[in-house]
Amino acid sequence: MNKKEMLEKKVWAVLGVTPNESKFGYKIYKKLKDHDYKVYPINPKYDEINGEKCYKSIEELPETPDVLDFVVPPQVSLNALDEVNKKGIKNVWFQPGTSDKNVIEKAKESNLNIVEDCVLVALS
């Protein structure tokens, strides 16, 4: 699946959302919302983002998103892939700096569709 096809999916979750408006975790979440995506924020540190429930883990999500966008360091991404598989998520989007060789290898072994790019640029 290519970038364009993934962007056509309308239910996303963003791992690493933050209420800090200067950080990518916020900008990516907001950009997806502004483009009429249904977006689930995930970060164990926050109860809500912009008045919306923030989920503590991928497992807690009320539905399986079409795409999971990673905005976390590679080690967190690597650990999160187990939850991705358990939840049945098939499409993963790695922001720049969120993946490394091990992360991509593990994602490929799980037969996930992978995009490595910046959502902010892709939606501009």
57: which residues sit within 8 A by CB, 6+ positions away?
42, 44, 83
Closest Cα to residue 29, out of 61, 9, 52?
Answer: 52
- What CATH code is carried by the domain that includes residue 117? 3.40.50.720
- Number of structural domains (the chain) is 1
In a domain, 30, yes or no: yes
Read off the pLDDT of residues 68-120 as tens digits, 9 standing for 90 and up.
Answer: 999 999 999 999 999 999 999 999 999 999 999 999 999 999 999 999 999 99
Tokens of 124: 């501009």
Write down the pTM of the prediction: 0.96
CA–CA distance, 117 with 54 (Å, rounded to integer): 24
Neighbours of 102 (CB within 10 A): 13
Domain encompassing residue 111? 10-122
